[in-house]
Amino acid sequence: MDITPDTAARLHIAHANDDGALIRFTVDGEGSSPLRLPCRRLAGPDLPESWFAGDITESAETLGAAWAHGEHYAMLALAITETGDIEADAALAYERLLTAVRPSRHPYLLRVWNYFGGINDGDGDGERYRRFCVGRARAVDMMFNDPPPAATAIGSDGAPKTLQLIALCACTPALALENPRQTPAWRYPRDYGPVAPGFSRGAVLDADTVTPRLLASGTASIVGHVSRHVGDIAAQLHESLANLGALLAEGGEKTGRRFRLDDCEALRVYLRRETDLDAARAVIAGSGIPDVCVLYLRGDICRRELDVELEGVFVAIPV
């Protein structure tokens, strides 16, 4: 792969309170910004998780939406008041997202975060997460699925009230990744709902530069398509870290670079139960991931039998 001589990163992530960020994820505090993560902070950095992508040419926040545009990247966030029909709400949210993104200078969706309350409410195909997947599939276009973006879906605190989408977009596509230890989510069998989840396991950004970033989707204790270590938080975390390691190795194979857990810029650990925090911190401490970049949040996992999910950003190093 040809690499540009420009070594400056087009994107980097840091915990910093800086108005110049393309995306600034906040957690604590009041307000209804669509960029405020609807999950309680359990431990980790106090400062916002800020995604920097050079100069911002346009930005605004109004009426449950926020957006910012730069040279290479753009951000769009939406907060939809739920109507009681999560399938219809998901379809509406994704229709609005694609209507705004596709005609723009940044038509490619690279990374999407989805948050809504009561994600595991309902039985069988009536579960809210499964209905959300149906609504999303109803609204997206062929470009969305070829291949789907990296993504996370987490159940937020409190009763169902708001569906929140946050999207990172770009003027060029990312390199989508799948994990050799896991069945692609978009190929899950019928057991997991009438429509398979629409996301890739990860994405590499700026693969033509010296410092590409690998964005890992929500990663849990799943091998193949089967949940593992139900009821054992430490074992689930070790399996999730093994999945992250395999994804980083796959990114290295695809790009000729080297991605390591040690070279993490930001990691989120979503925990179903706050009482698992100490056990989770002990496992993460032994992984090589720098403690200063790990944010622990209270959030429900889309599979009701699992208790923890990881997502993160990793920087390549020369080989």
Do 21 and 52 meet the contact criterion of CB atoms below 8 Å apart?
yes
Write down the residue that tokens 């930001």 correspond to.
266
Neighbours of 46 (CB within 10 A): 10
- Burial degree of 225 (CB within 10 A; 0-12, 13-18, 19+): middle
Interacting residues of 231 by C-beta distance below 8 A, sequence separation 6+: none
15: left (phi over 0), alpha (psi -120 to 50) or beta: beta
Alpha carbon distance 264, 312 (integer Å): 7
- Please compute, for residue 300, the number of CA atoms within 13 A of its CA located in the half-sphere on the CB side: 19
Q: Which long-range contacts (CB under 8 A, 24 or more apart) does 103-107 make?
A: 104/69, 104/74, 104/169, 105/69, 105/74, 105/171, 106/69, 106/73, 106/74, 106/169, 106/170, 106/171, 107/143, 107/169, 107/171
Tokens of 224: 């193949």
Going along the chain, which residue ranges are E strands? 12-15, 23-25, 41-43, 49-52, 58-62, 65-69, 73-81, 108-117, 150-156, 162-170, 175-177, 202-205, 213-219, 222-223, 226-227, 258-271, 294-298, 300-301, 308-317
* Residue positions annotated with a catalytic role: 309
